[in-house]
């Protein structure tokens, strides 16, 4: 498979797995576009293991910890498939093709993606073992860091490496946490009903969770001020705008924003 064909293939799988991130990734240019697309698919591959309904928490912990170790050296697909072992047939394409997504990442930026993937896999393993029992604000901060905040850090490392843009690490984490907090609010009932999991700290009402989302989205808004390259600004602006609108809809008692609102938002962020 030549590089051009593979790139189209990766983008095709990306489009199938995430409509939300597919569009902003298309705003990026060359090396950054390939790197972020690759990183998203790698993260999604890991997330499918953490989220798999047929695996118990101990299985998830063992698999994710072993996968985390694989990212410390050149990726060995034979070892990876061995780790998946008996669950291999139950995994989606995006997880089975982890090696492909790493191969499509430019060599210059691959270490940044590998390091983030290593940290994410080990963090998800820790929380799977703990059955996602979040009791305090510190627990919530830790969980949202591993599943989203560290993605903000990785992106900031890429902005600096590829475009010379320096950003504040805590604001980058806030950007990721803010998006994740909105997801937690949106999926709160489904997580509880289907997985028996609550990401809400003890004694918090939905109001405190709204405040947590507002606080981190404010950091995300501040983070945006340091981005002066248009393609990167557009990439970050769309998910943030959708998160703000979704949060407003949730506060109004709606479950989510409409497809028309999504399309309007896509148009709005490109004309600013």
Ranges of residues in the chain whose predicted pLDDT is under 50: 1-4
What string of DSSP letters covers 90-101? GS-HHHHTHHHH
Q: Which of 37, 46, 36 is nearest to 8 (CA)?
A: 37
pLDDT at residue 250, as a whole number: 95
Domain 132-272 is found in CATH 1.10.600.10: yes
Domain ranges of the chain: 1-110, 132-272
Specify whether the CB–CB gap between 152 and 175 falls below 8 A: yes
Q: Are 81 and 66 in contact (CB under 8 A)?
A: no
How many C-beta neighbours within 10 Å does residue 109 have?
21
| pTM of model > 0.85 | yes
pLDDT of residue 13: 84
Count of CB atoms within 10 A of residue 192's CB?
Answer: 13
Please enumerate in sequence order all residues whose Cβ is within 8 A of that of 207, keeping only pairs 6 or more positions apart, or say none.
Answer: none
Whole-number pLDDT of residue 193 = 84
**Tens-place pLDDT, residues 202-250:** 999 999 999 999 999 999 999 999 999 999 999 999 999 999 999 999 9
Q: Are 34 and 106 in contact (CB under 8 A)?
A: yes
Question: Based on the number of CB atoms within 10 Å of its own CB, is 118 exposed (0-12), middle (13-18) or buried (19 or more)?
Answer: middle
d(CA 115, CA 261): 36
Q: What is the pLDDT of residue 7?
A: 66
């Amino acid at each position: 498979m030549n590089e051009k064909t593979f790139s189209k293939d990766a983008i095709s799988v990306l489009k199938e797995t995430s409509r939300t991130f597919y569009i902003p990734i298309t705003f990026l240019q060359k090396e950054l576009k390939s790197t972020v697309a690759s990183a998203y698919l790698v993260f999604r591959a890991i997330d499918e293991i953490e989220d798999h309904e047929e695996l118990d928490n101990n299985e998830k912990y063992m698999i994710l910890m072993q996968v985390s170790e694989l990212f410390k050296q050149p990726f060995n697909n034979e070892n990876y498939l061995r780790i998946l072992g008996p669950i291999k047939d139950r995994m989606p394409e995006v997880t089975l093709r982890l090696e492909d997504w790493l191969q499509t990442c430019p060599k210059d930026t691959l270490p940044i993606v590998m390091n983030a993937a290593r940290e994410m896999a080990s963090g998800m393993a820790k929380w799977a073992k703990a059955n996602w029992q979040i009791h305090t604000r510190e627990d919530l901060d830790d969980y949202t860091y591993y599943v989203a905040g560290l993605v903000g850090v990785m992106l900031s490392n890429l902005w600096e490496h590829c475009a010379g843009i320096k950003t504040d690490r805590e604001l980058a984490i806030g950007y990721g946490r803010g998006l994740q907090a909105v997801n937690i609010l949106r999926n709160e009932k489904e997580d509880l009903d289907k997985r028996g999991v609550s990401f809400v700290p003890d004694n918090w009402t939905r109001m405190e969770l709204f405040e947590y989302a507002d606080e981190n989205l404010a950091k995300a808004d501040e983070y945006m001020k340091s981005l002066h390259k248009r393609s990167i600004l557009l990439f970050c602006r769309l998910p943030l705008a959708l998160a703000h609108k979704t949060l407003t809809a949730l506060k109004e008692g709606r479950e989510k924003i409409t497809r028309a609102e999504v399309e309007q938002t896509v148009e709005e962020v490109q004309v600013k």
